Structures are given as C-alpha cells and as structure tokens.
A and B are shown apart, each in its own frame.
Chain A
Amino acid sequence: MLRIAACAKRLVGTASFETQFQPIRVLPRFYHERVVDHYDNPRNVGSFDKNDPTVGTGLVGAPACGDVMKLQIKIDEKTGKITDACFKTFGCGSAIASSSVATEWVKGKQMEEVLTIKNTEIAKHLSLPPVKLHCSMLAEDAIKAAVKDYEPKRASATAGTAATGEKSATA
C-alpha cells in the first residue's frame, strides 16, 4: 500500500476513484526531436558490475508507477572524476531520453559537480511537457542515488589506503 502511495501521480492529489471517471486521457503524442533521437539511439545503455568498488549505482522509481531507472557511474578513485556512465530504464520515451541525457552529462565531470545537475535543465533540454516532468526528476534522483551509493565505497577505499599508509609508516 505504501508502495502505491509513493507514486508521484497519487501525490498530485487525484484519488483513484476520481481518475476512474476522468473523461479524456491526454497522451502526449508529440515528442521533441531530441526525445525521439535519444529513444531511437539511446546513449550508454548497459550495466557495470555493481560490486566493483569504483562503481556507484542508483536505482530509482517503481514498476507500479510505470518507471524504473538504473544509472551507474564509474569513478577514477584518484581524481574523483566520473570516467564512464551507463543506464537501463523501464519507462516511457521521455524517461528513457532523460536517463540517456543524464549519462551523457555526468561523463567526465567531478562527482560534486554532477550533484548540481537539475531536473529542470534536463526537462528544458528535452522540451518535456508538464506531464512528463517527473521523468527528469527521476533522472536527477538517479544521479544523486548513484553518487550516494559510491560515497561509502570511496570512504572505505581511502580509509583502506590510509590504513596501509600508516602500516608502512610504522614498519
């Protein structure tokens, strides 16, 4: 029940009873050519090993809501730079395009830098209509979740090198 309540559509305030009786369902059948391009030729589709210590994985959304995004980043441990990124998305064309754009934008950037990528920038880039704005929000969340997933790995990695450094120092 909680899971269902989590969907954005419910939060907008339409009870399921009301929506049953909505007269017209407006499907946005008009896609910006960038959305079509990313849908037809998605960039960076794929997966990294999520157990790789240099990989951060963000998994956001829910199947019951109609979209799930998995965004992964590969980080150069020394510089903190994102060297590679990939995604897999279950969702509409706008959701696929949003995550595809997100992987393009995070590549080559510093981890701290990608946290400043805003959903509004993605939405603007793809000219998303209001009913599709949550797709760009999901992409922003996916970037943040991937960084968040990597942070403890980095901390343990640096703690590890620090520990070995101390060891060698005492030896």
Chain B
Amino acid sequence: MTSKILTSILRNHLTKKPNLLRRQPLSTAAAAELSDPQNHEETTAGITMKGVKISGRPLYLDVQATSPVDPRVLDAMLPFYLSQYGNPHSRTHFYGWESDNAVEHARSQVASLINASPKEIVFTSGATESNNISIKGVLHFYKEKKKHVITTQTEHKCVLDSCRHLQQEGVGALYLRRRPRIRVEPQMNGGGQERGIRSGTLPTPLVVGMGAACEVAMKEMEYDEKRISALQQRLLNGITDKLDGVVVNGSMERRYVGNLNLSFAYVEGESLLMGLKEVAVSSGSACTSASLEPSYVLRALGVEEDMAHTSIRFGIGRFTTEEEIDRAVHLTVHQVKKLREMSPLYEMVEEGINIKDIQWSQH
C-alpha cells in the first residue's frame, strides 16, 4: 500500500520536469556535437587524436565497455541533479524525504526486473563492488565454518580476483537473497546505510537512473533482444559471406546477443583495430609484451593462443543501427583483406604450408 503511494508520488516527481530542462540538449547526438574539443583537433578535413586521423566520429560498437545513456533515463535523473538534490539519508527535511522516496522507488524498479523483493536489493557503486561484497563478504562472514568458493575461469576479473576494474559507471545493485538468508560481512564501514551492508551516501541521481533503466529494460527487453539479435546475425553473415577463416569465439547458441567476438585467422588483432579507426571496437588480444596477453577468457574458452591474438569484440546495443552494422562489415572486410595481403601466415596457408608444422624461432 505504502509503496503504491510512493510510486504515485514519484511518478509525479519523475514526470514533472522544470521548464528550463526542456531547452537543454538531452540526446547523445547533441552531446557529441557539444563535446569538448580541448584534447583533439577537429577540422573540416576530420579529427586528429592520439596520432590517428579520422574523417568523423567513429561508429560505436563497444557497448560492453560502456554504452550511451538512454535519454529517458537521463530525463529521470536530471531533476535530482538540479532541483531535488537532497541527501536521501537526511531525515530532517523535505529534500531528504523526496530523495529517499526516489531511492526506494528505484529499489522497487530494480527488484521487479529480477523478480526479487526490494528488501533484497542493495545499491552499490557498481558491478565490481557488488562482486566484492558478495564474494569477500560471504567468505569473511562464514570463514569459521566454510572456506571454499567455486568459480569459473571465464568470470570477470573483479570476480576472480575481487579486484579493481577500469569501467566504473558509478552505480550498481546487488541482490542478496532473504529466504534462505544470505549474510555478508560489510566491505565498507561507516554510516550504516543500505542496512549496514554498504555504508556511504547513495548518489540519488544515479540510483534513480538505475531504476529508470531497469524499468525501460523490463518494458523493452523482448523487443531489444529480437532487434539486437538480428543485428548480430547481420554482422556475422556480412563478414563470413565475404571472408574465410573467421571463427566465433564462444558458443553461438548460448551467447548474449549484443556481443560477437570474432577471430580473423592470420590477422593480428591490434593491427586490425588500428586499421578500424572508424569503428570503436575492442580487442581480446594484443601484441607480445610483459603486460599484453591474449584475453584469459578466450584462453579459458579453449581458443588457441595464435587465434586469440586475432580476436575483435563487437558490441551491439539498443541504439546501434543497421547502417552502422553494414558500415562495420564493409570496413572490417576491407581491412582484413588488406592485412592478409601482408600476412606471411596467410601466404603460407595459400601455398599449402601447415603453419603448425613450422618450427618457429625464439624471440
């Protein structure tokens, strides 16, 4: 009952936007136009940054690194930066109460997406912190009785190592089951927020954004999945129609549809990335050095080391278009062909030499 009232109050909060906001450019495209030109040169001929010249902003296919914020989510967040900026833990005034309401509404939005109770949701700073709390927290809490944790090699680094990671969106949510109850030892001590599991003031705008994102996801998940899956197929077919020696890393059936990790035989991944200046993608591989190793996930998946050096990760999101996929196919095929023309390995294979039979020299 109370939650229903809260919800209706919050709907009013979220839908009522001050007029001044309407005039702000909210779309990501508009934001791109306004991007700070300080650290790169932008001329009519193109953009120069970090020694790379490109004719325009690259198309973005790296949504597993980070993704643009849905404008609807940003719409929900903005009032909490500009007018409703109270600390959700302030108990003594209206500002605090409305922020608290917003946080609790977001908690219920997150909970309903994963079919949980709002009481089972703990807001954190992100996936890394969530994984740290769940692994270290459980381990420490039960250390007197149980000492073993089972994990898989393909898990994210922060799970394996419970260590830090580059990508920090600033907010995350952790599901802690209530029945039967899972208890964890807090990794962050302080004011006892989030039922003492995660102390620290909650960032209301981010938490509200997370809630709004969960609500959008719940409404559109099916549609998104269908659309993104079609784009994934379009990308794969587009590439394999024109190129041989392309291998999908990981299963095609049991795969998140927004991801496609491909190995292009006889072409080194980093050089391919360098050639794909107009496509923002990521490499699971890297050239030899102390710090650059082929992705441990690919190795755990059983991808051979020489093929792991040839992999590219394509990420497709809600805002990816068919045109972007087609352009990415065109550029990738062109670049792979160019690099194969200068690959001694490709030449050997064409001559009928088995690369694996060669006694490779040390270096």
Complex interface: stretch among A65-73, A75-83, A163-171: A65-73
At the interface, yes or no: A90 with Cβ under 8 Å from chain B?
yes
CB distance from A106 to the nearest CB of B (A): 17
> Chain A, 8-39, contact with B by CB distance < 8 Å: what is the 0/1 string?
11001110100111111111011111011001
At the interface, yes or no: A6 with Cβ under 8 Å from chain B?
yes
Complex interface: stretch among B93-101, B170-178, B340-348: B340-348
Check A134 against B51 for contact (C-beta < 8 Å).
no
Central interface residue in A7, A25, A91, by most chain B CB within 10 Å: A91
Residue of A whose beta carbon sits closest to that of B295: A25
Check B296 against A20 for contact (C-beta < 8 Å).
yes
Check B345 against A63 for contact (C-beta < 8 Å).
yes
Contacts of B53 in A (CB 8 A): 36
For B, the interface residue count at a CB cutoff of 8 angstroms equals 45
Q: Compute how far the CA of A87 lies from the CA of B347 in the bound complex, rounded to whole angstroms.
A: 12
At the interface, yes or no: B287 with Cβ under 8 Å from chain A?
yes
Residue of B whose beta carbon sits closest to that of A14: B290
Known contacts A23-B165, A31-B274, A90-B345; is-contact A63 B360 (Cβ 8 Å): yes
> Chain A, 93-119, contact with B by CB distance < 8 Å: what is the 0/1 string?
111100000000000000000000000
Contacts of A16 in B (CB 8 A): 293
Contacts of B275 in A (CB 8 A): 39
Q: Compute how far the CA of A138 lies from the CA of B275 in the bound complex, rounded to whole angstroms.
A: 22
Contacts of A61 in B (CB 8 A): 360-361, 363
Q: Compute how far the CA of A31 lies from the CA of B49 in the bound complex, rounded to whole angstroms.
A: 10
Known contacts A21-B160, A60-B363; is-contact A27 B51 (Cβ 8 Å): no
At the interface, yes or no: A159 with Cβ under 8 Å from chain B?
no
At the interface, yes or no: A155 with Cβ under 8 Å from chain B?
no
Q: Compute how far the CA of A163 lies from the CA of B125 in the bound complex, rounded to whole angstroms.
A: 82
> Chain B, 53-70, contact with A by CB distance < 8 Å: what is the 0/1 string?
100000000000000000
The list of the 3 closest CB pairs from A to B, nearest first, reads A62-B360, A92-B287, A63-B306
Please report B residues at the A interface, Cβ cutoff 8 Å.
50-53, 157, 160-161, 163-166, 266-268, 270-271, 274-275, 283, 285-294, 296, 305-306, 309, 341-347, 355, 360-363
18 additional A-B residue pairs with CB within 8 Å, beyond A12-B290, A47-B347: A6-B360, A8-B363, A12-B289, A25-B286, A30-B51, A39-B274, A65-B363, A66-B294, A66-B309, A87-B342, A89-B342, A89-B344, A92-B274, A92-B287, A95-B268, A95-B271, A141-B361, A145-B361
